Structure 1
Amino acid sequence: MDFMKIIESLDEALYTVMGWLIFYPLTLWRALVRPLHMMAYADREVSDRPDEQYEDAIRPPLFLFLTLMISHGIEVAVAGQNPLLADRHGLAALVDSDLALLALRLVLFSLFALMMAVRLLRRQGIRLTHANLRRPFYGQCFTTAPFALLIGIGTLSHNLTAAAWRDAGLIVLLAALAWYLAVQSLWFSKRLGISLLAGFGQALVAMMVALVMFFTIGVMVV
C-alpha cells in the first residue's frame, strides 16, 4: 500500500512538473502583454475552490518562484556562482547555497507585490487581514515575476566586458522599471477610480517603500 502511494505521488508530481512546461510560458506571456487581465484573473480565482483555481495558468506565488529560479539559472550560466555564496561574514553566512539565495530573492521581490497590495487596501479603506490581503497580493505576483526576470537579466550586464552588453543591460533595466510602473499606475487608477497621474503617484509611493525595504535587507545580508 505504501509503495502504491509513492507511485501515485510520483505520478501527480511528474504531471505537475510537465504541466509547467506548457503553462509557465503561457502565464509569462499573458503576464507581460495583458498584466491587468491577469491581475483581475487572480482576483476571480481566489474565490474558487482550491482544486478549481488557476486551471489554465501557474498559481501566482509559484509563478514568481519559478521565474526567479529561471533568472537564477541564467545568472549561473552567464556569470557563474554568485559571490554572495562565498561570503561568510555576518548575515551573508546564512546564504550558503543556491536554494538559500533563491529564497532570499523570493522574499526581496515579494516585497514589491506586498507593498502594492497593502497600499491598495489602505487607499480603499479596507481592513488589513490575511483574507483581504491575499487577493491583491496574488494578482501582484503575476506582474512582479516578469519585472524580477527583466531585472535579473539586466543586472547581468555588469559581469560582461563589452560596452554594448552593458548598454543593453541598462536599457533592459529601464524598460523593466517603466513597464512595471506603467502597469501599477493603471492598476491603481482603475481600482481606486482615480486619474492615471494619481495612480502613478500611488504606485511610486508603494515602490519606494518596497525599494527601501529591499535595499535595507540587501545591505544587512551583503
Structure 2
Amino acid sequence: MDFMKIIESLDEALYTVMGWLVFYPLTLWRALVHPLAMMAYAEREVSDTPEDQYDDAIRPPLFLFLSLLISHGLETLIAGRNALLTSNRGLEALVDTDLALLALRLVLFSLFALLMSVFMLRRQGLKLTHSNLRRPFYGQCFTTAPLALMAGIATLLPILDVSHGRMAGALLGFFTAGWYLAVQSLWFSTRLGIGRFAGFRQAAAAIMVAVSLFTAIAVVIGLSAR
C-alpha cells in the first residue's frame, strides 16, 4: 500500500512538473502582454474551489518562485556561484545554500507585491484582512514575476562575452522598470477610478517604499558581514 502511494505521488509530481513546461511560458506571455487582465484573472480565481483555481495558468506565487528559479539558474550558469553562498560573516552566513538564496530573493521581490496590495487596500478604504489582502497580492505576483526575471537577466547581460552586453543590460533594465511602473500606474488608475497621473503618483509612491525596504534589507545583510 505504501509503495502504491509513492507511485501515485510520483505520478502527480511528474505531471505537475512537466505541466510547468507548457503553462509557464504561456503564463509569462500573458503576464507580459496582458498584465491587467492577468491581475483581474488572479483575483477572480481566488474565489474558486482549490481544484478549479488557475486551471489554465501557473498559480501566482508559484509563478513568481519559478521565475526566480530560472533567473537563479541562469546566474549559476553564466556567473557561477553567488558570493553570498561562500561568505561566513554576519547575516550572510545564513544564506549558505541555493535554496536559502532563492528564499531570500522570493521575500525581497514579494515586497513589491505586498506593498502594492497594501497601498491599494488603503486607498480603497478596505480593512486590512487576510482575505482582502490575498486577492491583490495574488494579482501582483503575476506582474512581479516578469519584473524579477527580466531584472535578473538585465544584471547578467553585461557579464556575457558579447558586444554591447552592458548596453543591452541597461536597456533591458530601463524597459523593465518602465513596464512595471506603467502597469502599476494603470492598475491604480483603473481600480481607483482616478486619472492616469494620479495613478502614476500612487504607483511611484508604493514602488519607492518597496525599493527602500528591498535596499534596506540588502544593506543590513551587507553591513553585518563587515
TM range (shorter): over 0.9
Deviation at 1:87, TM superposition (A): 1.4
Identity, % of aligned pairs?
69
- Per the alignment, residue 45 of structure 2 pairs with 45
- Per the alignment, residue 175 of structure 1 pairs with 175
2:71 pairs with 1:71: yes
Letter of the structure 2 residue corresponding to residue 34 of structure 1:
H
- TM-score, normalised via structure 2 length: 0.96
| Cα distance in 1 between the residues matched to 2:52 and 2:100 | 32
Structure 2 unpaired stretches of 5+: none
What SS class does the counterpart of residue 164 from structure 2 fall into? helix
- Per the alignment, residue 117 of structure 1 pairs with 117
Number of equivalences:
222
2:24 pairs with 1:11: no
| Cα distance in 1 between the residues matched to 2:19 and 2:156 | 29
Instruction: Spell out structure 1 runs of 4+ moving beyond 2 A.
Output: 157-163
- Contact residue 117 and residue 136 of structure 2 kept, 8 A: yes
Letter of the structure 1 residue corresponding to residue 215 of structure 2:
F
Deviation at 1:159, TM superposition (A): 3.0
Letter of the structure 2 residue corresponding to residue 126 of structure 1:
L
2:158 pairs with 1:165: no
Deviation at 1:221, TM superposition (A): 1.7
- Per the alignment, residue 26 of structure 1 pairs with 26
What SS class does the counterpart of residue 96 from structure 1 fall into? coil
The CA RMSD over aligned residues, in Å, is 1.0
Deviation at 1:160, TM superposition (A): 4.3
- TM-score, normalised via structure 1 length: 0.98
- Per the alignment, residue 205 of structure 2 pairs with 205
- Per the alignment, residue 88 of structure 2 pairs with 88
| Cα distance in 2 between the residues matched to 1:188 and 1:74 | 33
- Contact residue 188 and residue 203 of structure 2 kept, 8 A: yes
Deviation at 1:214, TM superposition (A): 0.3
* 1:144-163 to 2 correspondences below 5 Å: 144-160=144-160
- Per the alignment, residue 192 of structure 2 pairs with 192
2:100 pairs with 1:100: yes
Letter of the structure 1 residue corresponding to residue 59 of structure 2:
R
1:44-92: CA deviation from partner (whole Å, max 9, x where unpaired)? 1000001100000000000000000000011111111111111111100
What SS class does the counterpart of residue 54 from structure 1 fall into? coil
